[in-house]
Every structure is written in C-alpha cells, then in structure tokens.
A and B are shown apart, each in its own frame.
Chain A
Amino acid sequence: MSLAGLFLTSFLVIHLLINLLILFDKSLELFNQAAHFMATNPLIQTFQYVLFFGFILHIILGVVLQIQNWVARPVRYERKGSSEQSYFSKFMIHTGAIIFIFLIIHFANFFVKAKFGHIDPITYDSGTYENLGQLVVMLFSDGGYVIFYVIAILLLGFHLEHGFQSAFQSLGLNHSRYTPFIKGLGTVFSILVTLGFIAIPLVIYFSF
C-alpha cells in the first residue's frame, strides 16, 4: 500500500512537470514534444505497465483493507468520536474512490485518445508531433469540465496530505528527528502538487 502509494506519488511529479510546460509555452511545442517523447521512448513505454500495476495494486489493497476495517467493527458507535490526528485519514477511501472515477474519465479523455484515437499532427521547426496540447486546451475551455477537474485535484491533495507521511510510518520510518520534517514536507508537497495541477486548467480557461 505504502510503496505503491509512494511510487504513484513520484509519477504525479513527472506528470505535473510535463503538464506545466503548457503554461510556459503557448505554442504548445514544449508540451507536445514532451508528450511525444513519453509516448515513443521504449523505456517509458515499458515502465508504463509497472505504473498500471502500481495503480491496480494500490486500489485493490486499499479496497481490501477498507472492507476488513469495516468488518472489524460490526456495531457502530452511537456517538462517533473524532480523535484522529491526521484529519484526512478519515476520508482516504472516499477521496480515493472519487479520484478513481476521475481517473477513468481522465483516461478516456486523454490516454485512450492519444493511444488509440486520431489526434491531428502539428509541425514545428523541431519536428511534427501529435497536437495533444490542443486537446488539453480544448477540454479546459469547458467551464464545467474545469470545475470537475479542480474538485478532483483538491481531493487528490487531501489524499496526498495524509498518504505521504502515512507511507513512511507504515514502512517503519519514524524518527524523532526526521518525522516532523516528513510531515511538514508531505503537507507542503500536497499543497504544491494541488496548486500546480489546478493552475493549468484555470490559466487555460481564463487566458488562452
């Protein structure tokens, strides 16, 4: 659970960095070039299956653990307590489920189209690539989609805020000196990732 989670977190960073290229180059050349590299590099294409495996493992383990946890308390409390010290820990299955739904829609919108559908090519000085950036800009010009995307990313941020430090604890990495740092890092990291992903649709919607 924790290892798969940390692995998926590292994927998020790469994904975010590539997406941010859209904001730094309105001609979309940088982004299309990066997307082209990701889609054609054999190492990355192979690693893609490791990533799918990571997602499936994380989801299956999460669901199995949650079912066991529900079964462990057959009679609920009348007055439910809230002593949790990691607030978002209460909602991991809920945020996770919504992120999963988002993931399916996200997949249908981008991955399936890029992999199996037809995307118009665009030619720059550096070469001809599929204009995936145009697809992004088009989708984010729809206000409803932007709102849906922003909400999903916010929930992803909540998921990360608990998940990051929790992964270290599960792996036994708790230390009087480093744990406070890891917790702080997790919070800062989840805020940065959330802001980064949210910035893209907002900037596109309002200024492209």
Chain B
Amino acid sequence: MRTLFRCLGLIFLCSMANESTGQVRRVVIYDDAATELHTPSPFTQSKDLWMTLAEFTRATGFVVKPQGVCRSELCFPLPKQREADFLGQRGKVTWFNLSEFARLVKQPVAHDQKLATWCFGPRQDVQNGYLATLDAPNFTLPDRSGKPHSLWDFRGKKVLLITWASW
C-alpha cells in the first residue's frame, strides 16, 4: 500500500514539474492564426520560445535556409556571430528561437506565461507598408452567412469602408 502511495506521489510530482517548467501545451499565434506545438522544449532554462524547425515552419511559413530565414521572396539573414542565439542542436533535432527572431525583425510579442501562449504581432515595416502607396490594405472576412469577401473584390468601384460594433 505504502509503495502505491509513493508511486502516485511520484506521478503527481512529475506532472507538477512539467507544469512548472513550461512544458504544458504551447500555442503560437502568428499572422493571426494559432498553432499548437506538440514537442516539449528542452531549453527549460530559457524564457524564449524555442521550437523544432518543423514546428517553426508549420506555425509561421518561414523556412531556415543557408541564406537566412525565408518565406517566398523574403529572407532575413541571421547574424553570423550570433547564430547560436537562434539555432540550437539537441540530439538529431534542430531548434529555433522564435523570440530572438522576433527581436531581430522588430516584431512585437505578447506572452501569457500561465497558458504558455505567445502572440506575434506585425512587423512595423509591414504594418506601415501601405503608407508609401496609399493602397487600401486588403482583408478577407465573412458576411452574416459565413461567405468570405475581400476588400479588393471591389476594385473598379468607389468603396466606403465603415467599421461599427454592437457594443
């Protein structure tokens, strides 16, 4: 009986330890879409968000290449002397530090520690990009019945865009 209690105690301790080291289900919100990470991070001492390269690509669409961190035509070279701040090897798995990458590209990050959720906002240059051309930024949103409409569907017409709210 005593042994059984010890075992239960051990399981309890282990699950607590998992919680306290941040190894709960982690969520990344990137470009307004949420992705769950399934691989617990081995970087338990780091406050930064480390994820496997596969998870990094799944969450952000970016791919780590020899020339930098790339998505379609866009590439951010990693500073050579600081590569270890961005990439880490544990066994056969390569890990990527998304928090450090956000600092590099000047992207805001909001974090909820308890719920292990990170939200990455737009880069300043992306947010302000439309000011150079004054092209109205596009968006795609559903109507009442769920059918999506894009602002740019109405090119060729004058459009009065109006926001409102029920509150």
Answer yes or no: are A and B bound together in one complex.
Answer: no
Interface residues of A (CB under 8 A from B): none
